[in-house]
Chain A
Amino acid sequence: MHLNDETIRALLDHELDPNRAAEAGGHLEGCESCGARLNEMRARSLRVAAALSVAGETMDASPESAYARLRPRLVQTSPTRVSSWIWRARTAWAPVAIVVVLAAALSQPSVRAWAGEFLGLFRVQHVTVLPVDITRFTAFSDNTLLTNQLSQLLSSSLEMTREAGDPKVADDAGQASQMAGFDVRLPSNRTDSPALLVQAGEAFNIRIDRARGQELLDAAGYTDLQLPLSIDGATISIDIPTGVTAGYGDCPALEDAQTVDPDTAGSPGRRFIDCILLVQMPSPTVSTPPDLDIEQLAEIGLQFSGMTADQAHLYSQTVDWTSTLVIPVPRNGASYREVDVDGVTGYLIQRPTDDAPQYLLIWVKDGIIYAIGGLGNSADQALDMAASMRYFR
């Protein structure tokens, strides 16, 4: 019985295990036709290799220089923040990511752009929701040229004055409070102990280049939106304080800082369906030049989100931009309602997808922003947790 082509070729390529190789070798010694077949395959393989190697004879592959080309792109999408593991920042849900990972999500250029518009505030005391037409942003984010231009604009306009810290594990609420510099509250209705992570936020300055910003708006088709000349050269300083994340239930390892896509069947996001995250942090500090017209900029941002000029003006009058955190919520992708929570008015935002529904409960109390997020159609657990918040001094 002769050797088949599979065996001969595998022998030629040293891919047979030792026993089979020995058997085949023994057969070849006594079989002229198999030996001829081996020689034919060997010769052909060498000829093909020679032909292909001409195309392969090129510059030396330099991994280091190639990686240097790729790295900036990776960094732009790098999920560096603890809390971002439960939602991947995507266009339709980026507003929620902004809330849950406020300090961290600002590392994403597209979220920074939003934060720059809506964090026209000094101290957050209230929260409100703004429904937006997300298709406007989808069209923008799908345009590689525009998103690259935005990234370049932000890269050149943005100066990091403090890098965010690495997430650090806290043993209990007391230690977390000490590390964070504010009194941490946790839900007393939970019998399980959370995994606690404390992370120092970043600080940065944004210097407004009015001409380039206008160019970007025009290129994106928002020619009716005119940025005021007075903003050119203005510097906005944003300081994100330390935040604390408490993970309840079966959650991915927080210190891994992995992103989780709840929409992908079989993904970690769906495996960790009973994971609930509680994030809390003091209000960010935003400093702007005294003559910067925050309301005017906010109206432009509202028009960018889909409102008419009249609607934007009316809406703007109802919001105290110096003390309110405005959360953009996709109009067709999520629902929201006001809720009484922890003695204040908060918002429950829900995204009811078929595969992986999500919710976010957010409120502000005594200058601390709280957010509880999880997967599932029911936010009852989150509401119960919020109702039982207390200090663990």
Chain B
Amino acid sequence: MLDDPRLDAFEDLFIRHYPRVYAVLCRLVGRPDEAEDLALEAFWRLWRHHDDVEKNGEAWLYRVAANLGYNALRAGRRRENYELQAGKQALEESPIDDPPAAFDRLEQIERVRSTLRRMAPRQAQLLALRHAGLSYKELAGALGVAPNSIGTLLARAEAEFETLFLIDGQP
């Protein structure tokens, strides 16, 4: 393999940040395979644009990841019903210790996705980023807002999420 100091530095950055980037995307798209693909895409874009984002590349990374995740969330709407049904059928057909719990989990994931999809993009992204472990300073960098407004934005986003989530759960 060819030696490249940039590759070594990039690998360090990848190992350090991948778990949180992946966690953000899992919360937005709900599917581990899709979350991994999107996470790799975010890092790939950082690699390609590294020279343009010399300062605060990490904030850029999370911003790109959140955008990719939200876009995928919106794009996934059409197939979610099919997949929900297909997933339920698969659970019925394959031996699972606790099918009802598995069904519930599947439906819960889809309900969360549906709720996030109906929120404003920044609110949905803020929740996914915060609950993946980003600090207020990191959130401010990723979303391009003042650090001393994060608390208010979080409180509002969570209130909005809960309102829509409860509506979504009503028969």
Q: Which residues of A contact B (CB under 8 A)?
A: 4-10, 13, 15, 41, 44-45, 47-49, 51-59, 61, 63-64, 66-67, 69-71, 73-75, 77-80, 107, 163-164, 166, 256-261, 264, 267-268
Contact = CB atoms under 8 A, between A and B. Distances in A.
B75 to A, nearest CB: 16
Given A55-B112, A66-B40, A78 B155 contact: no
A5 B105 CA distance: 32
B131 A107 contact: no
Interface string B115-154: 1000000000001100110011000000000001111101
Contacts of A51: 108, 112, 115, 161, 165
B47 interface: yes
Contact of A66 (B3, B18, B109, B148): B18
Given A6-B149, A10-B150, A15-B151, 6 more contacts: A8-B155, A51-B108, A51-B161, A54-B108, A56-B131, A57-B105
Nearest to B157: A48
Contacts of B161: 48, 51
Contacts of A70: 14, 40, 43-44
Contacts of B2: 75, 78, 80, 107, 163-164
B98 interface: no
Q: Which 4 A-B pairs have the closest CB atoms?
A: A9-B151, A58-B32, A6-B151, A63-B18
Given A10-B136, A52-B112, A70-B44, A44 B159 contact: yes
A6 B51 contact: no
B4 A55 contact: no
B6 A264 contact: no
5 contacts: A5-B152, A10-B150, A44-B162, A56-B132, A78-B6
Contacts of A71: 7, 11
A73 B48 CA distance: 11
B167 interface: no
A6 B136 contact: no
Given A55-B112, A107-B2, A166-B3, A259 B131 contact: no
A45 B26 contact: no
Contacts of B5: 256-257
Interface of A is mostly: helix
Contacts of A49: 131
Nearest to A7: B151
Interface in B14-35: 14-15, 18-19, 22-23, 26-28, 30-32, 35
> Could you say which of A9, A164, A258 has the most chain B C-beta atoms within 10 Å of its C-beta?
A9
Given A55-B30, A55-B113, A75 B7 contact: yes
A259 B47 CA distance: 11
B118 to A, nearest CB: 14
B36 interface: yes
B39 interface: yes
B35 to A, nearest CB: 7
A61 B4 contact: no
B4 A257 contact: yes
B131 A53 contact: yes
Nearest to B37: A69
B15 A67 contact: yes
Contacts of B14: 63, 66-67, 70
B92 interface: no
B73 to A, nearest CB: 10
A78 B136 contact: no
Nearest to B148: A6
Given A5-B155, A44-B159, A55-B112, A79 B6 contact: yes
A13 B115 CA distance: 23
A55 B161 CA distance: 14
A239 B154 CA distance: 60
**Which of A45, A69, A261 is packed against the most chain B CB atoms within 10 Å?**
A45
Given A48-B158, A61-B23, A9 B18 contact: no
A70 B80 CA distance: 28
Given A48-B131, A56-B131, A79-B6, A261 B11 contact: no
A9 B115 CA distance: 22
A44 B31 CA distance: 25
A74 B27 CA distance: 27
A163 B27 CA distance: 43
A40 to B, nearest CB: 10
Contact of B40 (A69, A78, A268): A69
A56 B27 contact: yes
B15 A63 contact: yes
B40 to A, nearest CB: 5
A222 B134 CA distance: 51
B52 interface: yes
Contact of A258 (B39, B51, B108, B159): B51
